[in-house]
Amino acid sequence: MTIKKITDKLLNLDNFITITLIGVSLFNFVSTTIEVIINKKLTFYDSAIVKSLNVTASEHSDKFAIFITNFGGILTSTIIIILLITILLYYRKYKDSLFIIMVTSGGYILFNSLKLIINRERPIVNTSLIEASGYSYPSGHATISTCLYGALIYLTYKYIKNTHVKIIIILILSILILLIGASRVYLGVHYPSDVFAGINLGIFWLSLNIYIYKHINQKQIIKIKKLTEF
């Protein structure tokens, strides 16, 4: 088997995985949204989970949850995005910079727009560990952290050559996304379904941008190859 055939197979596999993620995440988000709007039982179970976590909260776990949740906040996310774009621009990775901007800014607009459309109120708990304004569904922290750290996972997969380092970074970032989502439920500012929907919305938007990003790159490669043939 030639190198070209191996490369083509890998590209086809990557495209299949990306398209599958787009479809599955969109289905999960839409089905959960329908359940939230129509099925009151989901809200009942959501409330029960939030209240049980709030009752069993401890001082150490509170501090850890607040520390973790900040990684999905606007301030921390903005600082990371600016630093990341600055580094990418320094190394002349203009397409990667644009990719980060599209994924994060688009994700922010997307979840805020959906919050205004769905209008789900936040959970009511006895002890509020942090203050959160606006509507609850979907979780903005879950969406943005999935978009931002998911984009970092993609760039890690793309650029890091050492397999062990690559796996470690991807695992850390994946766990961070899940912990940020879990912290929102623990702190009593989101229902589990808010977080689940936010993560799926983030995966959908991230995967869609990856597909577009790769498609544009492939088109440019074909153009370069045609020019070199003359």
Segment 157-169, tens digit of pLDDT: 888 888 899 999 9
pLDDT value for 129: 65
Asked whether residue 229 carries a pLDDT value surpassing 50, the answer given is no
Q: At what angle do helices 94-118 and 192-228 cross, to 10 degrees?
A: 150
Per-residue pLDDT band at 127 (split at 50, 70, 90): low
- Do the Cβ atoms of 59 and 177 come closer than 8 Å? no
CA distance 180 to 145: 7
- Answer yes or no: are the C-beta atoms of 143 and 113 closer than 8 Å: no
Report the pLDDT value the prediction gives residue 58, as an integer from 0 to 100: 67
d(CA 104, CA 179): 19
pLDDT in tens, 184-218: 888 878 889 899 999 999 999 999 999 988 877 55
How does residue 9 score in pLDDT terms, banded at 50, 70 and 90?
Answer: very low
Does residue 113 surpass a pLDDT of 70?
yes
The secondary structure element, H or E, covering residue 179 is: helix 163-186
Which pLDDT value is given to residue 224? 40
Distance between terminal CA atoms of the chain?
28
Q: Dig out the tokens for 202 from the structure.
A: 């983030």
pLDDT band of 2, cuts 50, 70, 90: low
